[in-house]
Chains A and B, each alone.
Chain A
Amino acid sequence: MAERKKPVDAVIIGYGWTGAIMAKALTDAGLSVVALERGPALDTSPDFEYPRIADELKYGVRGDLWQPLAKETVTVRHTVNDTAVPYRKYGSFILGNGVGGAGVHWNGMVWRVSPEDLRFRSHIEQRYGKAFIPKDMTIQDYPVTFAELEPHFDHFEKVCGVSGIAGNLRGHIRAGGNPFEGARGDEYPTPPLPEIYFGQLFDKATAELGYKSFPLPAANSSVAYTNPYGVRLGPCNMCGFCERFGCFLYSKASPQTTILPILADRKNLEVRTGAYVTKILRDKTRTMATGVRYIDENGSEVEQPADLVVLSAFQLHNVRLLLLSGIGTPYDPGSGKGVVGKNYAYQMSSGTAVYFNEDVEINPFIGAGAAGKRAIDEFNSDHYDHAELGFIGGSLILAGATGGRPIDQMMLPPDTPAWGTGWKAAVRKHYGHSAPIGTLGSVMSYRDRYLSLDPTYTDGHGLPLLRITFDWHDNETRMAAYTAAKIEEIVRAMKPEKQATALIRPGDHYDVRFYQSTHTTGGAIMGSNPGNSVVNRYSQSWDLPNLFVYGASAFPQNFGGAPTGLLAGLAYFSAAKIRDFYLKSPGPLVQA
């Protein structure tokens, strides 16, 4: 018999970025809140302390900060007809665990979607005609606009102390910034960090080709900075142990460094770690959520009743928990019916490695996840004419490595022997003189790419794992080839000794063995009505008005860029509505 806790006003499932954002918003409003996190309590001290955090093997390769796959993983298959098998070892993406979630070991890139990304279907149809979109491509518009989200993007950037240069400030295009960005109300809160050397070489080459490079917006404050909550942030020193690691300098924005310090003394907030939520509970009529059931760190079942349930457990876990709880109709790719699990997408990553001669001191170990890198947006989204190209979407092109960690970030030309004296000579010759240009490419959603519960494999508690059915479509491989060609042009302008492009080509299958991106999206998408989505524009479940779901699970398709800026903006947008309307008058915020 599960222990039943005293009811609270709100329970939060998953204490990462959106969990922390909502914990602040709801406790600000005076609610009693319990935040449940299945992983451990983590904080800069003692968990990311210098110098022990600078351990590539422990954190960069073994992944001691990540979700332990032994306890829970996902299964993957390429098509509906295949048998899914477990993602037994880390490769393609990295899953967070613990307080802060992936917000602890992310790259720190805070990206704003292009305005048209939020209404991509309509935009493409208007520009190129309805027939331009293949029938099996199930992309949708968001029910919210860039203008509505802009103040919330701005707020999140200020909370994180994001460093960058505004390219479009209130309609004025400004030199040094991204000319393609949607109009911003305000400049970035801090100026960019010095660009890495390879960034300078990239700038020169792209300028020759007429492109407008800009600093990648980074959640690393570059000057002494206090965020709007009164929390002070530390300085980035380009230590090269960024993504996969916790930041020892209080610089890379995480819930710990930006929000949690002001929640520490709140009497109306209780955080329980080691609390693994297994089900969102509903009343008999199944129209209201009544709380959650979880397994505590002793292995006992506990029930936490609550009037409001926040599901902020990361894109994949959000969908899994909805399916495990039987909330909403699971998507069936055959009939096309149901919405939970629909429109799963990913990120198309490609890149060109550039090998210079030994006179060029790249110093790859001087790097950060986002700070110091440079980018161009010319070939992203619909910033260029696709009429004759045979695909839609595009890629953000980014220059520079995030560090020079020798096990994982060694860059060698493809013809290098994998071992022996040839390998040894190559690491000597190329380490310190090579750098990558990579992409964050859009991935559309398709009828046959979705999430569901696996029929065979289970987690440590015997519950079904989430199953990913995903493979590349030609749209994405064509898009990747196009942007790869543009990158090769840039690289030729740099006049390196050698270059090598890594590309997923038409016919290549999704390969889980190699890290590509953790930008998995969709499955609990946001839309205009319950027929086409799981949540409305306020992230509120169409099925249960007192359930709100936050994260990239809301994205109906993925764009060229990192998801955190958008998912945080959506959370703040929702929090405002909850504060101003929902709490006074609970119920559906959008009429279906």
Chain B
Amino acid sequence: MAGGALVALLASVAVSYVSDHRAGEKSLTVPAPTAAVIARGAYLARLGDCAACHSLPARPAFSGGLRMRTPIGAIYTTNITPDPSHGIGRFTLADFDRALRFGVAKGHTLYPAMPYTSYYNTTPEDVAALYAYFKYAVPAASVPNRPSDIMFPLSMRWPLTFWRWLFAPKPSPFAPMPGMTPEVAKGAYFAEGLGHCGECHTPRGIFLEVRAATVADGPAYLSGAVIENYFAASLRSDGPGTLGEWSADDVTQFLLTGGNTRGIAFGSMSDVITHSTQFMTSEDAVAMAKYLKTLGFPNAAAQAPFVYDATEHSALKNGDASKPGAMLYLDNCAACHRPDGMGYERVFPRLSGNPIVQAPNPLSVVSIVLEGSRTPRTGAAPAQFTMPGFAWRLSDQDVADLVNFVRTSWGNQASVTTVDAVTRTRSSVR
């Protein structure tokens, strides 16, 4: 029995070894690194937001070192500067491509914290441009890589190979779905690929694999997911709590400036906007927006639009704060978000009809009430607005009452938040 298990184990390791060493394309033509190619690579690196994980503020750009928690221990991002010893200075284009799209580097499969599961669709030209950028334009930094905190035997890599087999999309250059306009196809290429939206916005299964990788995979794709202490909204247009009320222009504005008249970015998305999407060309942002607006039921346009309801505002304006949570709203929120729930355009987000406020999972709302939030600073919107946290001022019951008020007022219709949910969130944000 034990012997059989041991043989199976050894076979698995061997198979994994072979697979990792054979992954990738055999031969790739390396184009000349012209200024245009390098600029394209720099642009794509922004789109892929490599800096988000590989660049830390106090260290040389792209020298890694960001600590990322996994269920089995912390891992640290690697040095991807062209340093020959610690970075990717000795990588050939094939090596680079293998890491980026196949998730295999230095003889083993990468933890899928590196979103190769999204980057898999990058075209050969774009891979080459990225390679040229990292090899020729990024300064080499002799910063050693920090080994993970994962203890043996959990630190063995071979199970990742199996994970990659089972769950990673087959690396192949992006192919548009039938009926996609070239513009929407370009948007899909970015969103499904370098933009890696699904890594946060698509729910995951028990093996932490995303339930859907592209629009072709059905309604789970970008349907919203829990990430850290937030619920990342559904980016689809199929009902309340999604982007159904947003136009393509709203989405474009959001990507380029961090907000629109319907909402303002928070949490990790603030960083994404600040470091990545605000630098998109408007054509690319429009393309991505138009692609996102295709996600939804076929009759998305025919769904009942959001209707503002003035009942709660009228009550407050007339001295009636009898609805549960109304007085809490008046004492904590109304000064900025206004008694009509409309916020103040591009300063304090409106709560009425806001997809995050109406999302089935109230986690973002609860976290923001407890911790506050800060809007992203972008070139187009240089002023930053900060909401203070209210954890010190409100009990768990208060937060539940308040969140329930907000989620059921001014036309919002969303599920009940329990006190237990608040208690759990409070202990995890601490």
A interface residue numbers (CB < 8 A to B): 44-46, 49-51, 224, 226, 229-235, 237, 239, 248-250, 257, 261-262, 264
Contact = CB atoms under 8 A, between A and B. Distances in A.
Given A45-B374, A249-B336, A50 B388 contact: yes
B336 A264 contact: no
Contacts of B344: 224, 234-235
Contact of B388 (A45, A229, A250, A264): A45
B226 to A, nearest CB: 27
B34 interface: no
B347 interface: yes
Interface string B311-338: 0000000000000000000011001101
B381 A50 contact: no
B373 to A, nearest CB: 10
Contacts of B335: 50, 237, 239, 248-249
B380 interface: yes
A296 B393 CA distance: 37
A262 B388 contact: no
Contact of A224 (B346, B377, B385): B346
Contacts of A229: 382
B383 A261 contact: yes
Interface string B344-370: 111110000000000000000000000
A49 B388 contact: yes
Nearest to A229: B382
A249 B338 CA distance: 11
A279 B369 CA distance: 48
Give the interface centre of B332, B336, B338 by most chain A CB atoms within 10 Å: B336
B336 to A, nearest CB: 7
Contacts of B383: 231-233, 250, 257, 261
A139 B199 CA distance: 71
Interface in B219-234: none
B181 interface: no
Contact of A262 (B345, B382, B386): B382
Contacts of A235: 338, 344, 347
B385 A250 contact: yes
A231 B383 CA distance: 5
A150 to B, nearest CB: 27
Contacts of B299: none
B384 interface: yes
Interface pairs A-B: 7 shortest CB-CB:
A45-B386, A224-B345, A261-B382, A49-B388, A261-B383, A231-B383, A232-B383
Interface of B: 331-332, 335-336, 338, 344-348, 374, 377, 380-386, 388, 393
A231 B382 contact: yes
Contact of A232 (B332, B347, B374, B388): B347
A226 B381 CA distance: 9
B382 A44 contact: no
B300 to A, nearest CB: 29
A232 B377 contact: no
11 contacts: A45-B388, A46-B386, A46-B388, A51-B393, A224-B344, A224-B347, A226-B346, A231-B382, A261-B377, A261-B383, A264-B377
A234 B348 contact: yes
Nearest to B331: A51
A51 to B, nearest CB: 8
A256 to B, nearest CB: 10
Contacts of B381: 230, 232
A234 B345 contact: no
Contacts of A233: 347, 383
Given A45-B374, A50-B335, A230 B385 contact: no
Contacts of B393: 51
Contacts of B348: 234
A233 B386 CA distance: 13
Given A51-B332, A249-B335, 5 more contacts: A224-B347, A232-B383, A250-B347, A257-B383, A261-B382
A231 B332 CA distance: 26
Contacts of A46: 386, 388
A232 B385 CA distance: 9
A44 B381 CA distance: 17
Contacts of B345: 224
A248 B334 CA distance: 13
Nearest to A50: B335
B113 to A, nearest CB: 29
Contacts of B347: 224, 232-235, 250
B342 to A, nearest CB: 11
A45 B385 CA distance: 8
B385 A234 contact: yes
B157 to A, nearest CB: 41
A231 to B, nearest CB: 5
Nearest to A257: B383
Nearest to B334: A237
Given A224-B346, A232-B346, A250-B347, A264 B382 contact: yes
Nearest to B389: A49
Contacts of A232: 346-347, 381, 383, 385
A29 B210 CA distance: 51
A44 B386 CA distance: 8
Contacts of B331: 51
A249 B347 CA distance: 9
A233 B345 CA distance: 10
A295 to B, nearest CB: 28
Contacts of B388: 45-46, 49-50
